Amino acid sequence: MSAQLKRIEQQFAIEQFYYREARMLDNRQYQQWFALVTESISYVMPSRVNKLVDNRLRGKEEMISIDKELERSDDMGSPIREEGYAHLFVRVDRAYKANSWAENPPARTRRIVGNVEILSVEENTYRVTSNFHLFFARPGSDNFIYSGQRNDRLIVDGDSFKIDAREVIMDYANIDVPTLGLLF
């Protein structure tokens, strides 16, 4: 198989995985979704701040780089979420209780995952970036749009994948959505 064909095949497999994942999440099949993550998963959402522009960087792309706006897991700021398997388990478990009031009645969601780009492949590990728009209709409240980017580390699992790391970079000026505690 030519390298070109192999790349197309990889791209196809990853995209199909993301579509399947999105369908499970929108269908509220979180227990099935939970089977798509490894037990060592790192699930992180950096926070986003408005930094002072450094005059010495005038004229350079670095001056307004997105990295500067993020408080990530590996620095000493305050990321919005830093979770592992146990945290995600609690979230999934909670979704199927009648007294999880923020989801009673449950929100209606529809997400589009796009701009899927494989950044690197090393043996069975893929680094992939993708974008999403998520429509979120909360009964008793309002409709909201979530927009963000996901930086994933995926591990080959038979003829599918497992999510071993996900960093969700949300796009917001002010957080005016009901919660950032969803599964993105």
Partner 1 sequence: MIKISDLVSDDAAYISRRAWSDPAVYQLEKHGVFGKAWLFLGHETQIKHPGDFVQAYMCETPIILARGEDNKIYANINSCSHRGLPVCRADHGNTKRFVCPYHNWSYKVDGSLVAIPQEKMVSQKPDKNTLGLKPVPRVESWQGMIFGSFDESIEPLDSYLGDMRFYLDAFFDRFENGIEFAGAPHRWTINANWKLPMENQLGDVNHGPFLHSAVIPAEANQEIFDVGLSAVPHPGHGATFRLMPEGTPNENMAWGMEGMGAILGGSEVKEYLFEIQAKAKERVGDIRARMKGLTYGVYPNLSFLWSNTSFKVSHPRGPGKVEYWSWSAIPADAPDSVKKILRTNYSSFFGPGGILEQEDSEAWMQQFIGSNIDFADDKPYYYGLGMGDEKPHPELPGMVSSTANEYYARAFFKRWREALESVSDQDANRIALAEVR
Sequence-distant (6+) residues with CB within 8 A of 91 are 30, 181, 183
DSSP-derived pairing of the beta strands 108-122 and 125-137? antiparallel
- Interface residue with partner 1 among 16, 100, 124, 147 (CB under 8 A) is 100
Number of residues that bind partner 1 (CB under 8 A): 37
Binds partner 1 (CB under 8 A): choice among 10, 38, 42, 47: 47
Touching partner 1, residues 70-99 (CB under 8 A): 71, 73, 76-84, 86-87, 90-91, 94, 97, 99
Q: Are strands 81-83 and 37-45 parallel, antiparallel or unpaired?
A: antiparallel
Give Cα 22 distance to the centre of its chain: 11
Q: Least distance (Å) from partner 1 to the CB of residue 59?
A: 19
53 forms part of the interface with partner 1 (CB under 8 A): yes
Of the CA atoms within 13 Å of residue 129, those in its CB half-sphere come to 5
Sign of CA dihedral 88, 94, 95, 100: negative
Closest CB to partner 1 among 16 and 100?
100
Task: Summarize as ranges the residues that interact with partner 1 (CB under 8 A).
Answer: 45, 47, 49-53, 71, 73, 76-84, 86-87, 90-91, 94, 97, 99-102, 140-141, 174-176, 178-181
